[in-house]
Structure 1
Amino acid sequence: MRSVNVHEIIDNARFSRFHWMVMALCALLLIFDGYDLFIYGVVLPVIMKEWGLSPLEAGALGSYALFGMMFGALLFGSLADKIGRKKGIAICFALFSVSTILNGFATSPSEFGIYRFMAGLGCGGLMPNAVALMNEYAPKRLRSTLVAMMFSGYSVGGMVSAGVGIFMLPRFGWESMFFAAAVPLLLLPAILYYLPESIGFLVREGRTAQPRLLLNRLDPTANLQADDTLEVVDGKGKSVSVIELFREGRAVRTLAIWIAFFCCLLMVYALSSWLPKLMANAGYSLGSSLSFLLALNFGGMFGAILGGWLGDRYNLVKVMIGFFVLAAISISLLGVKSPTPVLYLLIFIAGATTIGTQILLYAGAAQLYGLSIRSTGLGWASGIGRNGAIVGPLLGGALMGISLPLHLNFMAFAIPGAIAALAMAVYLVSGERQPSAPLQQARA
């Protein structure tokens, strides 16, 4: 009989087909999630015209889903620590898929907004749970990279949304964009069949047979037997109250990462909701303006993978500080009249350093919090950040409503990048002064 530390097996495991499977399934979930989130920016110019919405009304309508995401992240992040991440993911996935399909049947802005709020609940809950699950199964040396690669599915979903919009909007109308959400719903049973449950959750529940099988798949050399005792560091006897996020020297870093989440999501959703409309107003056709959304999301995927790779080799927080500075610079330059290739490059960089950095923030938050409070920590960081996501579309609508020059719109979108860089600098200094930080990282 042995006493086996679960974290040691996971942290030191060789990268295998099992890791590929977990990452691919979580990435697939986020592709569908990203499609649902970016769909509003794609259909916005069309529904504004069809329903006669003012910019401020359109911005408010875009925030319905983001209100839902805020509550969903807070609700399902904590709930999954109690019922298991697999169940939490299943509930969230079904909720946002069904609600998105119902959006295609909406006949008024009010009805549309209700369905978007319901879809937002599911989207907001799925993200932190998928990140927590991937973070738990990833070897320590590859953790940031694998989380970033998995989360790049979010950007792929945005690109799919823009690409589908370019093809389907002129031919079948905006409703068809929402009906397409039926496809991922059909795949849900297969995803849930192969997706593993959190090992930490299973051990805490006393269901030790399944964790042994999962750990043997994760690392065949472990050769765990039925009489081996599994130990999960900080996995037992701790509350999942939000107060835990401020204990053991985490208070300053928790507040700093909340501010960074808020600012980053503000930039992401201001750009994803209003970039096509702003570019259409600047004289570009609908197809061309949607291609800018493609460039934004392609940049997000590239930035997430590059940032994760850099974070595993150097320092993830320093990488995020640099990315936020680049975000502020690139977004502010979008309002300057530039040749088309330069404009695409700036949008690509803006996507890499906003959408990409959002993904790195999830990886950073997952590493800050211990296993027993990880979903709660990710859920609250995401939930607080959703306030920024709500402000983003509203801010864009308000700025367009007062007819500001194009460059001032983008300057307003860039300011949060500078604030986020400052917040993460405070996070970095606080972590260096905190003696327990290395232990906390080891436990993550």
Structure 2
Amino acid sequence: MSAHVLDSDAHRAANAELVARLERLPVTRRLLLVRVIIGIATFFDAYTVLCIAFAMPSLVSEWKLSPAEVGLIISAGYIGQLFGAVIFGSLAEKFGRLKVLFFTIVLFVSMDIACLFAWSGMSMLAFRFMQGIGTGGEVPVASAYINEFIGAHKRGRFFLLYEVIFPIGLMFAGMAGFFLVPIYGWKAMFLVGLVPSVLTLPLRWFMPESPRWLASKGRIDEANAVVGMLENDAIKHGLPLPEPVIRTLDPKATAKSDWRELFQGIYLKRTLTIWSLWFCAYMVNNGLITWLPTLYKSVFKLPLQTSLAYGWITSGVGVLASIVCALLIDKVGRRPWYSWAFLLAMLPLILLTTLGATSPVEVLILATCAYAILQTVTFSLYLYSSELYPTRLRALGTGFGSAWLRAGSATGPILVGFVVGDLGIRYVFSAFAAIALIGGIITVLYAIETKGKVLEELSP
């Protein structure tokens, strides 16, 4: 037997032992600290995504923007996120999760500063595009990173209680818009977005690199040191630490990453399915949440503060729905939850079309229902995406998948802008109902169940 095969066998055995040690770990204080630090970055990532929606009613008046221009500015950030998700997902497989996370946070904070000095619609569009590149890279890499620390039976709850910070960040953007914009103007939204530079960058030094990523690169000693630190943390605080159960890993578990594998074997169907779910869910939800404050003010002629308050209510209900999902999805399962959510979200959208969306209260109640139902899908798809791919492809596959989130998010506001301008508001909701139906059908036909399964067993 060649030395290369021996080395490969030894690598695979060491990786299997490390995975077994990770799988039996309890949720230690160190893991909770990691979740908090990444959560802070994700919170302001979400805030940054939505702050433009609450700044926009003021910008429309100040810069005399048309509905089409508003749609393009809102979409610019999502288009940037599309590029960021693909670029930084690939880099995270090569250089590690932490280095890429640090760079993406620096990028989106620096572009937040640039947005403060925007002087026109085109300058804001350019800065939001660049900011989107950083934002788009941070979330999928952070999701892969968090997932790689947690065992199968705790993964859904632990991860989604981290991920729920994203809709809380969206809600906080609404609160900041409601209280700050009428008094201090739109620039206040971007000033608040500078907080992550104060909090997240120094805390980054308390975070270990992903042991699964280190092991996949053959850096077994470093990976063992990280797992040993977590084990000592558990022992120190009297947490249960059962004996590891070592499972035989597929030889591919220690293979090098190759993006073409996303479109081969079992991963082809998974890739196309998750792309479709990302696109459908985010096209509807981000099309709704980013446009609603402007619609209330421009179409229904509500006062600025009322328009912002209505947008904040929608975000707040979305947070409550997300918390319910985080607590229950490990019991219900991913596939049945997503199937029902897509199909149920159609009902208020169809009702809005039927009623004609003639009053702001009507839109508030029914659009909020649709948004909250689909929010349980949008905020948990990072969990599902990370479960569908092996360590060598996890950040890359999640990044490619979330690129379709960005495509859907960019398409939604543009669609709303043109449909409202040409056909009227009621037809926006009928288009979104059709998209939700497509998402539901795809989930029922092609999605797989992942709850309670070890990552290495799900994805060899």
Distance 1:341 1:401, change over 3 A: closer
1:265 pairs, out of 282, 301, 310, with 282
Matched residue SS, 2:148: helix
1:327 pairs, out of 345, 352, 370, with 345
AA of the residue aligned to 1:260: L
1:401 pairs, out of 421, 425, 450, with 421
- TM-score, normalised via structure 1 length: 0.89
Distance 1:101 1:347, change over 3 A: same
Using the aligned pairs only, state the percent identity.
28
1:219 pairs, out of 210, 214, 231, with 231
Distance 1:190 1:331, change over 3 A: farther
Q: Are the aligned partners of 1:240 and 1:376 in contact in 2 as well (CA < 8 Å)?
A: no
AA of the residue aligned to 1:299: V
Displacement of 1:343 in angstroms is 6.0
2:321 pairs, out of 295, 300, 303, with 303
CA distance in 1: counterparts of 2:262 and 2:52, whole angstroms? 33
Q: Structure 1 residue 19 and structure 2 residue 31: aligned? A: yes
Q: What residue in structure 2 maps to residue 88 of structure 1? A: 100
Q: What residue in structure 2 maps to residue 418 of structure 1? A: 437
Q: Are the aligned partners of 1:257 and 1:427 in contact in 2 as well (CA < 8 Å)?
A: no
Distance 1:338 1:115, change over 3 A: closer
Q: Are the aligned partners of 1:303 and 1:357 in contact in 2 as well (CA < 8 Å)?
A: no
Displacement of 1:403 in angstroms is 4.8
AA of the residue aligned to 1:236: T
Displacement of 1:161 in angstroms is 1.1
Q: What residue in structure 1 maps to residue 211 of structure 2? A: 199
CA distance in 2: counterparts of 1:441 and 1:356, whole angstroms? 26
Displacement of 1:350 in angstroms is 2.6
Distance 1:334 1:31, change over 3 A: farther
Distance 1:423 1:333, change over 3 A: same
Q: What residue in structure 1 maps to residue 46 of structure 2? A: 34
Q: Are the aligned partners of 1:44 and 1:273 in contact in 2 as well (CA < 8 Å)?
A: no
Displacement of 1:330 in angstroms is 2.8
AA of the residue aligned to 1:427: Y
What count of residue pairs does the alignment treat as equivalent?
433
Q: Are the aligned partners of 1:5 and 1:232 in contact in 2 as well (CA < 8 Å)?
A: no
Q: Are the aligned partners of 1:148 and 1:363 in contact in 2 as well (CA < 8 Å)?
A: yes
Q: What residue in structure 1 maps to residue 304 of structure 2? A: 286
Most deviating of 331-340 and 43-52: 331-340
CA distance in 1: counterparts of 2:253 and 2:85, whole angstroms? 21
CA distance in 2: counterparts of 1:245 and 1:49, whole angstroms? 46
User: Which consecutive unaligned segments of at least 5 residues does structure 2 have?
Assistant: 1-9
CA distance in 1: counterparts of 2:23 and 2:105, whole angstroms? 29
Matched residue SS, 2:222: helix
Q: What residue in structure 1 maps to residue 397 of structure 2? A: 377
CA distance in 2: counterparts of 1:89 and 1:18, whole angstroms? 18
User: Which consecutive unaligned segments of at least 5 residues does structure 1 have?
Assistant: none
Q: Are the aligned partners of 1:12 and 1:140 in contact in 2 as well (CA < 8 Å)?
A: no
Displacement of 1:217 in angstroms is 3.4
Q: What residue in structure 2 maps to residue 187 of structure 1? A: 199
AA of the residue aligned to 1:315: G
- TM-score, normalised via structure 2 length: 0.86
Q: What residue in structure 2 maps to residue 156 of structure 1? A: 168
Q: Cα RMSD over matched residues?
A: 2.9
Q: Are the aligned partners of 2:90 and 2:395 in contact in 1 as well (CA < 8 Å)?
A: yes
